[in-house]
Amino acid sequence: MSQNNQTYPFPLLPLPYARDALSPNISEYTLYFHHEKHLKTYVDNLNKALKNYPEFQAWNLEELIVHNNLLPSEIQTPVKHNAGGVYNHNLYFYSMKTPSKTSIMPVQNTNQVNTPGNDFLNLINRSFGNFIEFKTKLKEAALQVFGSGYAWLVSNSRGELSIVTTANQDTPLTLGLIPLLPIDVWEHAYYLDYQNRRNDYIDKWFDLINWDFVYYLYNRQFQLYTK
């Protein structure tokens, strides 16, 4: 999944798994509304904002987000919100997998149900001390997001990992960072299943992370990806 290939009219990308594939961690009902209602609204509104501006219809999502200030003032805000919404949601959905799927990469014994392969696990260990500490810090960040937003695992241009948060549909792209893994903590991502228990949703989300995809995103930037 490359969002750099997408331009106007932006599509509603299909889910990379069956709608019930994340159950019981995320229910089919939640996934339906999140993908086919919330994300579709962002897609439709982004296309609507760009409809009468053919000179910007060749821009991909990242260009619309990073160079938003170059757009006509009357569409800067709707494009910012909706391009961010499409970008963030696509990455969120594609960075998850069914919890029963095993990684194609070798995994060290970390006493965790769902861990990265050894190469990316070593990167995490260097950045955060160990995998458990990484999970603790990412969970803390996700819990501290006030209102709606995301917590992210990101990389800088030197390949160094860190955790950041963004509000609403802002993205780490505007901070000069490479988004690798988002957890969506808007209430629509979990409220039907967990009500106000964001803590429980985060714990279950960790079991869904598609670490192969995260590692692919990392190495796509630095040409290190090997299987």
Where does the pLDDT of residue 132 fall: very low under 50, low under 70, confident under 90, or very high at 90 and above?
A: very high
Q: How many CA atoms lie within 13 A of 20 on its CB side?
A: 0
Tokens read off for 200: 């429980």
Q: Where are the beta strands (DSSP E) in 114-156?
A: 149-155
The annotation places the binding site for Mn(2+) at: 34, 89, 184, 188
Q: Name the DSSP letter for residue 7.
A: -
Complete DSSP assignment for 187-211 = GGGTHHHHTT-HHHHHHHHHTTB-H
Average pLDDT over residues 212-227: 78
Q: What is the pLDDT of residues 65-96, one digit of tens each?
A: 999 999 999 999 999 999 999 999 999 999 99
Q: What is the pLDDT of residues 180-200, one digit of tens each?
A: 999 999 999 999 999 999 999
Average pLDDT over residues 140-150: 98
Regarding pTM above 0.95, the answer is: no
The annotation places the binding site at: 34, 89, 184, 188
**Burial (CB count <10 Å: 0-12, 13-18, 19+), residue 98:** middle
CATH class of 118-222: alpha beta
For residues 68 and 177, is the Cβ–Cβ distance under 8 A? no
